[in-house]
Amino acid sequence: MSSRERSRRVDALILRHQRWGEADRLLTIFTKENGKLRVIAKGARKTTSRKAGHLEPFMRSTLQLAQGRDLWIITQADTINAFLPIRENLQIMGTASYVIELLDKFTYEDGSNPQLYKLAVETLERLSAADPVFVILRFYEMRLLDLMGYRPQLFQCVSCQEDIQAEEQYISALVGGVICPRCAHKYEDVRKISVAALKYLRHFQRSAYKEALAATPVEGVIQEVERIMQWYLTYLLERAINSQIFLQQIRKDPHE
């Protein structure tokens, strides 16, 4: 955001909040207009606060922001969608927390990404509508990878570029995609992936959401796909976090 602007209106998802001073809250939000921001909600911890009800995690709200000394301050908040069905079910609440956590971990402040905002909002709407959780999450993860520039290569071997055949394959988060059995020995971090699991990863990567809903994998494949995605995302996040720590260390080095 331009520092010369005095006020601004944003369409935001509330990611999390923490205590800030005696009565205030520091909120981390993801906005359609400006990506991730940290903003102050004055008096939000007081029981009489009218704003607080619009500022709970997972809520989508319109916020009016005013420039404070260091951070933007919320002057007005109106809920667009509180996603009530999510709040009424602990299990769905846990799933929504995962959606929000991934969004939070994969993004840094000041990076506008309206498509990612749209994806996150749609994902919470799908959870509210009680669509199948497996499809909602895998579709979300695959689109998130696309939008963050980590789209895995799933149709040709990342190493030799040959078309992937219908046989057991390998996958690598390090090089970003599928590796054929002929090339697998060259990599250390590879994991096996079955033909069926790969089929669903491809399905989620290239289908629109409505088509993705047609997926009906059997129990074992559901678990395999879930395990692979968890491993893949964790690897990317650790690498991203490590490079961020590395960058911070370079910046702090007085000899630079």
Binding site for Zn ion (CB under 5 A): 157, 159-160, 180, 183
**Least separation in angstroms between CB 198 and Zn ion:** 14
**Least separation in angstroms between CB 179 and Zn ion:** 6
How far is Cα 165 from Cα 163, in angstroms, rounded to an integer?
6
CB neighbourhood size of 97 (10 A): 14
Q: Please, which residue, 78 or 189, has the CB nearer to Zn ion?
A: 189
**Least separation in angstroms between CB 183 and Zn ion:** 3
Structure token digits, residue 194: 């079955």
Crossing angle of helices 90-106 and 114-128, in 10° steps, is 170
**Least separation in angstroms between CB 180 and Zn ion:** 3
**Least separation in angstroms between CB 211 and Zn ion:** 29
Structure token digits, residue 11: 């369409």
Q: Please, which residue, 9 or 182, has the CB nearer to Zn ion?
A: 182
Q: Please, which residue, 193 or 233, has the CB nearer to Zn ion?
A: 193
* Residues 6 or more apart in contact with residue 72 via CB below 8 angstroms: 1, 8, 37, 39, 40, 65, 66
Q: Please, which residue, 114 or 181, has the CB nearer to Zn ion?
A: 181
Q: Please, which residue, 74 or 157, has the CB nearer to Zn ion?
A: 157
**Least separation in angstroms between CB 60 and Zn ion:** 44
